[in-house]
Amino acid sequence: MPKGYWVSVYPAITDPEEFDRYNRLAGQAVKAAGGRTFARGGGRVVAHEAGIAERVVLIEFDTFAQAVAAYESAAYRKALAELPDGFERDFRIVEGLD
C-alpha cells in the first residue's frame, strides 16, 4: 500500500510567534496520527525554476488514507486555528509510489 506525504512550502512567515503556536500543536497532531517528519526548515534548500527557498516541510505517513485522516483530525484542526491571519503556504497531500 502506498505511503502518504504532507508537503508544505511557506513563502514567508510574517509572525514567527503565532507560527510557533501552530507548529507545536501541529507537531503533536502529526505524531499522534503516526506521521514522521523528514524535513522541516529552510536552512539548506536549493530551489530551481519557480521554487521557493523558504521553509519546507516533508512528513510521511504509512498510508495515503492516514495522511488525509491526520489533516482532517480534530487535533490538526485545532492547530490550523492558530495560523495567523493572512498566512500563506503551499500544502498538499501526495500519495507515494508502491
Number of domains comprising the chain: 1
Residue corresponding to grid cell 501526495: 94
**What CATH number does the domain containing 46 carry?**
3.30.70.100
Flag whether the pTM goes above 0.85. Answer: yes
Percent of all residues in the chain with a pLDDT value above 70, rounded to a whole number: 99
What residues make up the domain containing 21?
4-95
- Look up residue 82 and give its three cell numbers: 492558530
pLDDT tens digits for range 45-61: 788 888 877 788 999 99
**Cβ(66)–Cβ(4) under 8 Å?**
yes
